[in-house]
Chain A
Amino acid sequence: MTLRIVVRTFSEICVTVGTLIVLLVVYVLYWTGIRADSAMDDQMDTLTKRWATEDKDPGSTQNAAAEAGPPEALHDDRSYEGGKPFAVMYIPRFGADWRRPVLQGTGVGTLKKGLGHYAGTAALGGEGNFAVAGHRRTYGDPFKDFPRLRSGDVVVVNDGRAWYTYKISSRPYKTLPDDTGVLKPLPKPLDPGAAPYDRPGRYLTLTTCEPEWGSSHRLITWAHLDEVKAASEGKPAVLGGAGG
């Protein structure tokens, strides 16, 4: 009789643990994606609304600066509020309708809502290195196709004032998680042969995890600023815009 109870309880525990594992997989694979989609939509709405109000104020210095041509020090990092969206990124290689909000900071909570701009790296379009991190898997899989990026692919970022088109310089570079040199204003990875540039400029760095479901390494890609257009000129041609 006692043995029966022991066996029964053991089986019940096994069934319970199995169910928990299945539920956790469902949560990680599907539920985080659903949550991330709605969070990203919220961030996009926030941006659209904010930009709409900014447009009604054409006399603002920021608009004037953007229309004056390529920004020198148009805005510095401090103008981005932590955890808040400030731009939208487009990467045609990931799909014609691939777009994600870019938020300030790379906290766990921030990265659930979109891509995260490393605090302390250059501002968008600025001299130095504008570095952005994103999930490869879970939370909407934003950087799922990261290894498909190739030299010459474009990364377009719109901050409501201007379209910044960056051109990727090389295939993704696999490195170790503590290789912070990749974020330097002049990127300086652990492997000197992977260094993409030899002089200061306006760069963009994207980081995500490698392997896809692991965390032992990171994948990095670099791009240089190729073109800046005022937001009023419409989407760049690479995104199927009219201008170009």
Chain B
Amino acid sequence: MYGWIWRHLPGNAFVRAIISLALVLGVVYLLFQYIFPWAEPLLPFNNVTVDEGMGAATGGVPR
């Protein structure tokens, strides 16, 4: 997979290295900006409220 990408990049080894670095940074940016924020609520650290049994005396507590 990585070998295939390397072989299909243009230029000499130096140019390929620069492009690879840019690709890696781009992937990390996408992960931090979009993918992890989406995945993070699926992890358990976000549940800090008491909820369910909605509407006791509180008139419904949002998540």
Contact = CB atoms under 8 A, between A and B. Distances in A.
Q: Do A and B bind each other?
A: yes
Nearest to B3: A8
Given A28-B40, A184-B58, A108 B50 contact: no
Contacts of B48: 111, 133-136, 143, 207-209, 218
Contacts of A218: 48-50
Nearest to A188: B57
B57 A184 contact: yes
B63 A107 contact: yes
A24 B36 contact: yes
A207 B50 contact: yes
Interface string A8-35: 1100110000001001100110011000
Interface stretch (A174-182, A223-231, A236-244): A174-182
Interface of A: 8-9, 12-13, 20, 23-24, 27-28, 31-32, 105-108, 111, 116, 118-121, 131, 133-138, 143, 175, 177-185, 207-209, 213-215, 218, 220
Given A118-B62, A175-B50, A178-B50, 16 more contacts: A24-B36, A27-B40, A28-B36, A119-B61, A134-B48, A138-B40, A138-B46, A143-B48, A177-B51, A181-B56, A183-B57, A184-B56, A207-B50, A209-B44, A209-B48, A218-B49
The 10 A-B pairs of least Cβ separation, nearest first, read A215-B44, A215-B47, A178-B52, A120-B59, A184-B57, A133-B49, A27-B36, A120-B58, A180-B56, A209-B48
Interface of B: 1-3, 28, 31-32, 36, 39-41, 43-54, 56-63
